[in-house]
A = this chain, B = another copy of it.
């Protein structure tokens, strides 16, 4: 495990940094034992509050955004030149303490869609930014935090905990398994979901389609609905302080047509060039993740 190596003088900050580190370990355990439990939400809100408190002591550095219509900034610890990942100005809202209760109560649907989007984005990005600044070369901690967040939200919404592998191949062979991010099985004669979770996909998205293809092949089309959940596709050039979105829309169309069909692509910060694919041929179901809470019952009911 990488260490939280930021040395600070003020005891309040020291306590927060230690909370972020210990809370992360506890989060992994809680999600493993019962992802859908409300105490996971409670811990997620505590981690978000602590991360936001830490970030409030940081400076916001404006970035040159090459993404049309979106503005981004990075956090940096005062006196350091280390930058956090890029944060979407419009989606980030540090004043969400009171709204965090909706997460604990499992009542995100009660928020207006725009507020829900900002709350979800802020929860996802705050911890990741704190980790970017407090750890060195650690991609795993933010990715695991994001997986835990999605694991909880899906498990609580569906009312079942996920598995992280699925049995494939029977016949004369020994049973084999396909490792995946999450599988949600709502029970006999009900829906099953294949839910890959990524902070970004870039050209690695081909794995998402290919895994779905294996499930379609082994279990039949429609047996597992594929739902990709992705934070963003931004990439920050730390030297030039410039943000771009790495998108391969033509590849997506090929993969969607010729490898496997996915049921949903949810983004916290939808890349413009993927949003266009919703009008393409065939139209692809790419949506803001906030929409999930409006359609979860429909998703669960349909086969």
Contact (Cβ within 8 A) A259 B259: yes
* Given A178-B254, A253-B176, A254-B178; A206-B217 close (CB under 8 Å): no
Q: Which residues of B contact A255 (CB under 8 A)?
A: 210, 214
Interface residues of A in 162-185 (CB under 8 A from B): 168-169, 172-173, 176-178
Contact (Cβ within 8 A) B206 A254: no
Contact (Cβ within 8 A) A259 B214: yes
A118 on interface, CB distance cutoff 8 Å: no
Contact (Cβ within 8 A) A259 B206: no
Interface range, A side: 20 to 34
Contact (Cβ within 8 A) B168 A214: no
Q: Which residues of B contact A177 (CB under 8 A)?
A: 250
Provide the bound-state CA to CA distance between A162 and B255, in Å: 24
Interface string of A207-232 (1 = CB under 8 A from B): 10111011011100000000000000
Q: Which of A214, A218, A258 has the most CB of B within 10 A?
A: A258
Determine the residue in chain B with the shortest Cβ distance to A218.
Answer: B258
Contact (Cβ within 8 A) B173 A217: no
Provide the bound-state CA to CA distance between A178 and B259, in Å: 13
Provide the bound-state CA to CA distance between A257 and B210, in Å: 12
Minimum CB–CB distance for A209 against chain B, Å? 7
Contact (Cβ within 8 A) A254 B209: no
A281 on interface, CB distance cutoff 8 Å: yes
Q: Which residues of B contact A250 (CB under 8 A)?
A: 176-177
Interface string of A245-280 (1 = CB under 8 A from B): 000001101110111000000000000000000000
Minimum CB–CB distance for A196 against chain B, Å? 12
Q: Which of B216, B217, B254 contacts A214 (CB under 8 A)?
A: B254
Q: Which residues of B contact A251 (CB under 8 A)?
A: 178
Provide the bound-state CA to CA distance between A83 and B206, in Å: 33
Minimum CB–CB distance for A165 against chain B, Å? 11
Q: Which residues of B contact A173 (CB under 8 A)?
A: 281
Provide the bound-state CA to CA distance between A255 and B212, in Å: 11
Minimum CB–CB distance for A54 against chain B, Å? 31
Provide the bound-state CA to CA distance between A255 and B259, in Å: 12
Minimum CB–CB distance for A286 against chain B, Å? 18
Q: Which of B169, B259, B281 contacts A254 (CB under 8 A)?
A: B169
Interface string of A40-74 (1 = CB under 8 A from B): 00000000000000000000000000000000000
Minimum CB–CB distance for A107 against chain B, Å? 39
Contact (Cβ within 8 A) B206 A258: no
Q: Which residues of B contact A178 (CB under 8 A)?
A: 251, 254
Interface residues of A in 77-119 (CB under 8 A from B): none
Q: List 20 A-B pairs, Cβ < 8 Å.
A: A168-B254, A169-B253, A169-B254, A169-B257, A172-B281, A176-B250, A176-B253, A176-B254, A178-B251, A206-B207, A206-B210, A209-B210, A210-B255, A213-B258, A213-B259, A216-B258, A217-B257, A217-B259, A218-B258, A259-B259
